[in-house]
Amino acid sequence: MSSLDKTDGTTSHMTTDTNSNSKVGTWQSFKDSFQRADVETVATVGLTDIEKANQGSAAAPLSRDLKNRHLQMIAIGGAVGTGLLVGSGGSLRTGGPAALLIAWGLVGTMVFCTMHALGELAIAFPVSGAFSAYATRFVDSSWGFAVGWNYAIMWLIVLPLELVAAAMCILFWNSEINPVAWVTIFYLVIVIINLFGVKGYGEAEFYLAIVKVIAIVGFILFGVVIVCGGGPNHEIVGAKTWNEAGSFASGFKGVCTVFVTASYSLAGTELIGLAAAESENPRKALPRAIKQVFWRVFIFYFMSLTFIGLLVPSNSPDLLGSSNTSASPFVLAIKYSGVEVLPSIFNAVILIAVVSVGNAAVYGCSRTIQSLGAQGLGPSFLNYVDRKGRPLAGLAISGIFGLLCFLSAYENEGEVFAWLLSVSGLSTIFSWFSIGLCHIRFRMALKVQGRSTSELTFTALTGIWGSLYSMILLAVVLVVQFWVALFPVHSDGTPQAKNFFQNYLGVFVIIIFYIGHKLYTRNWRIIIDLKDIDLDTGRRITDFEGLRQEIAEEKEFFSKKPFYWRVYNTWC
């Protein structure tokens, strides 16, 4: 099979079969699939570092096997992970129920703006690496290097963390078996899923996301029933916990701490941008998936956290951080209501969510590493993509770092993982900030080069003002994080160096990456001139006149529909 990708006058061919007419044995075919994909090289003599990077990310021979249903469930289910199902318990204890709603509500608006900006860029340029490639294209190669590697390292560390979390979920039922045994099983499952390529990842996420969606919707309905007095004891809960334990647990600082945690918990929403390069038709599939961000944040986070705050008091000794327990606030809400069987069922859902996040970690890391290799921001072997479209070098590195999960057998594994996570703990913040910056510069470049948004099939509903808003809010998050890292909640007012570096080391890491790349490459350019930004390489659609005609016909069809239909399709 051969796929053709036109990128600014160059042609790239990927061959996935050595000879489609010959009969090859199953084992031989399997071995051959790991051979490097045949890609027609293009001349790079005389090209700048940015031009080479754009060519490399656009010509990546990744498979385009993700269908519309895969992207829909990746978008919907990507918001549900351990940040919501487990981490929200610690936030409830620190900030109180009102802080949960304030923090996640504000961060949700920022994510909505950021994802729309990413959608506009990803549909126009469905290239490998997405926002790391956009950072190189629209800002500078050093910024692309810093953002890309910081993001890849985050997923490298998240994988072993999630594997250990999965083993801890099993201990809810059986504490006699060594966690290392469960870690091994989950590690092998995730590695095997990703060896099936992007289709394996898409199918796994499709079914895992369905389970998570059903569970969260079921919990919300359960919360309505219990709060209104439909539980075993028929007690009307109402706002009882708010009145008894208080709306705010630690005042303004507690809200700030939850504000930071809320940003972390929504990490992974940007994976939909990475998936664009491996989508059959990003122009048709991505807009609906991007629009789902608002609803998944509102329904999955805002509504479920509302009932968590109503059913679990913030001073509960079972919450994360109150003792040695790591019980999910969802499980506690069910347990406190007096329902017998449901806690085990929901613990199984948490286990599924943990495996899903681990699966996403391998996908996100491997694709980002491959893109960095293709852009020349890493060793060339990182760009190794086999005949099935699998970025083998990236998958291998993810698998090797995943072996850190066996540190779970070490008695101080929590301390080790805390320091590992601190290296890239703020990487999501920088990635989201970079997306907003790239979107604004993309729009500015269109204007400077005499082009307009009429050549775009999807434009961000919030425009550049939404991107500016998200950048300002993310800058506030960084300032707030500095404060609570230096003077954590319940501290005596004395700066705590260990806590500060564990929570703010990521800022220094990305600065070191940025300056290190400048020094190594002797590239003293701060930012690319708007008139020099490449607005064509990597586009799958280059017939702009035909595209404008198609868009006009779609708008005419849209205008003839009823008002309620238009509102639904605008937001959903």
> Three-state SS for 13?
strand
Is the Cβ–Cβ distance between 269 and 429 less than 8 Å?
A: no
Going by pLDDT thresholds of 50, 70 and 90, the confidence category of residue 36 is confident
What is the rounded average pLDDT of the residues 554-569?
77
CA-based angle 85:234:310, to the nearest 5? 35
pLDDT, greater one: 22 or 175 = 175
pLDDT at 88: 84
Going by pLDDT thresholds of 50, 70 and 90, the confidence category of residue 24 is low
Q: In the 8-state DSSP scheme, what is residue 455?
A: G
**Domain coordinates in residue numbering, the chain:** 2-516+524-541
Distances (CA, A) of 224 to 126, 229, 241, 307, 507: 42, 9, 15, 8, 42
Between CA 370 and CA 355 the distance in angstroms is 23
Strand 2-7 versus strand 10-15 pairing type: antiparallel
Is the Cβ–Cβ distance between 567 and 180 less than 8 Å?
A: no
Is the Cβ–Cβ distance between 82 and 215 less than 8 Å?
A: no
Asked whether residue 469 carries a pLDDT value surpassing 60, the answer given is yes
Residues of the chain with pLDDT > 90, as a percent, come to: 19
pLDDT at 7: 39
Q: Which long-range contacts (CB under 8 A, 24 or more apart) does 490-498 make?
A: 490/250
Choose among 82, 158, 179: nearest CA to 404. 158
Distances (CA, A) of 114 to 34, 117, 121, 429, 472: 36, 5, 11, 11, 12
pLDDT, greater one: 417 or 305 = 305
> Three-state SS for 209?
helix
Using one digit for the tens of pLDDT, what is the confidence trace for 183-195?
A: 888 899 999 998 8
Going by pLDDT thresholds of 50, 70 and 90, the confidence category of residue 321 is low
Strand 38-39 versus strand 2-7 pairing type: unpaired
Is the Cβ–Cβ distance between 142 and 73 less than 8 Å?
A: no
pTM as predicted: 0.88
Is the Cβ–Cβ distance between 186 and 163 less than 8 Å?
A: yes
Between CA 419 and CA 510 the distance in angstroms is 16
Between CA 425 and CA 436 the distance in angstroms is 19
Q: Which two tokens stand for residue 274?
A: 């990475």
Strand partners, 386: 36
Per the prediction, the chain carries an average pLDDT of 82
Segment (H or E) for 6: strand 2-7
> Three-state SS for 155?
helix
Between CA 4 and CA 43 the distance in angstroms is 18
Choose among 213, 167, 212, 173: nearest CA to 190. 167
What is the rounded average pLDDT of the residues 139-144?
94
Residue 447 buriedness (CB in 10 A; 0-12 / 13-18 / 19+) = exposed
Q: In the 8-state DSSP scheme, what is residue 530?
A: G
Residue 114 buriedness (CB in 10 A; 0-12 / 13-18 / 19+) = buried
pLDDT at 444: 95
Segment (H or E) for 5: strand 2-7
Is the Cβ–Cβ distance between 282 and 126 less than 8 Å?
A: yes
Segment (H or E) for 4: strand 2-7
pLDDT at 254: 84
Asked whether residue 122 carries a pLDDT value surpassing 80, the answer given is yes
Using one digit for the tens of pLDDT, what is the confidence trace for 211-270?
A: 888 888 899 999 898 888 887 777 777 777 887 777 888 788 888 888 877 887 788 888
Between CA 114 and CA 572 the distance in angstroms is 16
Q: What strand order describes the sheet that includes 2-7?
A: 2-7, 10-15, 38-39
Going by pLDDT thresholds of 50, 70 and 90, the confidence category of residue 13 is very low
What count of Cα atoms within 13 Å lies in the side-chain half-sphere of residue 115? 29
Alpha-carbon dihedral 301, 302, 304, 307, rounded to 10 degrees: 150
pLDDT at 286: 85
- Tell the CATH topology of 2-516+524-541: Amino acid/polyamine transporter I (1.20.1740)
The residue whose two tokens read 């002797």 is 522
Asked whether residue 132 carries a pLDDT value surpassing 80, the answer given is yes
